[in-house]
Amino acid sequence: MVFSCIYRYRKNTYLFIYYLIQFCGHSWIFTNMTVRFFSFGEDSMVDTFYAIGLVMRVCQSISLLELLHICVGIEPNHLLPRFLQLTERIIILFVVITSQEEVQEKYVVCVLFIFWNLLDMVRYTYSMLSVIGISYAVLTWLSQTLWMPIYPLCVLAEAFAIYQSLPYFESSGTYSTELPFDLAIYFPYVLKMYLMMLFIGMYFTYSHLYSERRDVLQGFPVKKKKV
């Protein structure tokens, strides 16, 4: 009994610190982008990646710990949907954007970062407070609803980023390689195949998140109109 309480306390402390770090990182990114936009206007969108790309990469790299959390049972989420969401971001951020300087200057990078950070600020706030037993109806509803319009827009922005990167991968030959027996991997073809997988994964993830939303919100009190 004592061991169980100690384990629960340490687990909740660790998760609270993890969520707090992620919340601070994404809040800093969103605040930085907002201030830069109001200060420099559209010019700030061009160098978004140069200004906050490092912090974004750190936050997304740390988020891979969430897969470990699920595997060892300290986070009650399903592995496959979270894996799909994380791999989407890792591939877009590290493979598509980071490897091509020309793509880093596109407006779609700024739009994508805004969507990602909006979702994560709300999600990590909700998760952080849930760990310590604090629950707000508005925050719960927001965390289970905000993704409905934004997640499909994220996928569209990710697909557009891939589309814009194709000419640069074709000209530079990045990640394309020759194999023995006159075989070769042409990376633009790999990206085009991934585009199809991206929308298939979106359907699966959206269905899972919708089911999760229904389960979480079904206990919400519903006010009935007086007759």
Q: List the catalytic residues.
A: 151, 158
Burial class (CB in 10 A: 0-12, 13-18, 19+), 83: middle
Rounded Cα–Cα distance for residues 149 and 154 (Å)? 9
Which two structure tokens, joined as six digits, stand for 207? 């269905």
Taking a C-beta distance cutoff of 8 angstroms, is the pair 101, 53 a contact? no
Rounded Cα–Cα distance for residues 202 and 147 (Å)? 12
Taking a C-beta distance cutoff of 8 angstroms, is the pair 162, 195 a contact? yes
